[in-house]
Amino acid sequence: MMAAEMAEQAIVGFHQDELGDWVADLECGHGQHVRHRPPWEMRPWVVTAEGRRAHLGKVLRCVRCDEDVVMRTLEEG
């Protein structure tokens, strides 16, 4: 998959999953976990409402949209 085909989506909101981990709600309708679990995942901004608010509108690569592109490409073959 080429970089131009990668699905970058804006963050439109946040919610917590059933385990209390934060999930970014993306403009495509998918969700992306945004965990802060040092030293593996460093996202200290996610633990405060102010930090999450500051990230609204920023883009994340949507893995699920990328998977959809790969599947369509394979089907078109």
* C-alpha to C-alpha distance for 70 and 21, rounded to whole angstroms: 28
Structure confidence at residue 19 (pLDDT):
95
* C-alpha to C-alpha distance for 48 and 31, rounded to whole angstroms: 19
* C-alpha to C-alpha distance for 29 and 44, rounded to whole angstroms: 24
Mean pLDDT (10-residue bins), the chain, 77 residues: 67 97 96 90 95 97 82 67
Structure confidence at residue 3 (pLDDT):
46
pTM of the entire predicted model: 0.79
DSSP structure class, residue 39: T
